[in-house]
Amino acid sequence: MTDQIRPQPGIMDIALYEGGVSQVAGLSDAVKLSSNENPFGPSEKAKEAYLRAVHKLHRYPPTDHAALRQAIGEVHGLDPSRIICGAGSDEIIHLLCQAYAGRRTDVIHTEHGFLMYRISALAAGAHPVAVPERDRTTDVDAILAACSGRTKLVFLANPNNPTGTMIGAAEIERLADGLPPQALLVLDGAYAEYVEGYDGGAALATERPNVVMTRTFSKIYGLGGLRIGWGYGPKAVIDVLNRVRGPFNLSSAQLETAEAAVRDQAHVAECRSENTRLRAWLADALAQRGVPSDTSTANFILARFADQAEAEACDQFLQSRGLIVRRVTGYGLPSCLRITIGDEASCRRVAHAVGQFKGLA
């Protein structure tokens, strides 16, 4: 690269995103619990839709995503014209930064928030502002104190990744009410389906002109490999995002599989029920072995250790037993490990292995 050929300011400040490790050297049957994937996979109806899509691979997909938006709207009681679809909710996050942030603007996120908030802000030339949390939980007062005339976007994952904690509707409303007039509140509901009765912020995004909600098919729907997400918010905001969205950003296979998945709410309910049961069991089992965690509302547990050395030693021990979890040093939590809730056999293996590591089994 010559001195004259340079990327936009902020690009070189981006640390490459590292996904959860998926393999252990020398082991062919390791259990991956590092990426918050649904161990039960997609519904049978979604699989059938994907197989049918192979017959139309020579055709361009629709650019308006009308059928998928209609299905999402029917299931969630939302106006389809206020829905936008993307390649995972990551793309919606990126589009929001591209459209609303830029040089001499701030994008706020919590200190342990999803790494893509910072990455997308820097890619847009904006300044990411990390706001402290209180005991690994969103602090609304801290966010409001960080806002200024430069603030354009405030990202809030609720439930949050990687902590698993969340705040209630009253606090979210207080945050929306307190933002400066030029700022948008983006409620990231990637894990919303794991909370019984929680709408992910849909009602607030319906009522308020300054609130947008993002969702994904990668978690409870078990479609992480297809990369499908969506957003919902004020019509004016969705219109702006569609102007910068690529016209063919989702394939026919993605669109048709997601439509079948969202209509199969029985599968979602079953996955949520099993996740709730196994999450409670694993959290209790780890606590009995001297490894505490905050109350999680997602499909993972943030296991806390005495220090970084113990967390890394436990991670190495788990890998030796064929169990892959996620170190979260990059999220500012070096003394923790994020453990996805797998199936029952996987949860029992994790608890037993942690007990062995602690000298209790």
pLDDT tens-digit readout, 152-184? 999 999 999 999 999 999 999 999 999 999 999
Whether 111 has a pLDDT exceeding 60, the answer reads: yes
Q: Which two tokens stand for residue 310?
A: 């113990």
Q: What is the dihedral of CA 36, 229, 52, 68, to 10 degrees?
A: 140
Strands 151-157 and 106-110 come out as: parallel
Q: Are 34 and 21 in contact (CB under 8 A)?
A: yes
pLDDT, mean of residues 56-76: 97
Phi, psi of 353 (to 5 degrees): -65, -40
Q: What's the pLDDT tens digit per position in 268-298?
A: 999 999 999 999 999 999 999 999 999 999 9
Whether 1 has a pLDDT exceeding 60, the answer reads: no
Report the chain's C-alpha Rg in angstroms: 21
pLDDT, mean of residues 135-145: 98
Q: How far is CA 259 from the centre of its chain?
A: 20
d(CA 360, CA 170): 42
| Strand residues in 247-342 grouped as ranges (E) | 300-304, 323-324, 326-327, 336-340
Mapped onto helix, strand or coil, the DSSP state of residue 153 is strand
pLDDT, mean of residues 99-115: 96
**Tokens 């197989």 belong to residue:** 51
Q: Where are the alpha helices (DSSP H) in the chain?
A: 44-52, 66-76, 88-100, 115-123, 140-146, 169-178, 202-207, 235-244, 252-263, 265-288, 308-320, 344-357
Phi-psi region of 63 (alpha: psi -120 to 50; beta: other; left: phi over 0): alpha
Q: Where are the alpha helices (DSSP H) in 13-77?
A: 44-52, 66-76
Task: Give Dmax over CA atoms of the chain in angstroms.
Answer: 61
pTM of the complete model: 0.93
pLDDT at 12: 83
Domains delineated in the chain: 11-41+266-357 (3.90.1150.10), 44-264 (3.40.640.10)
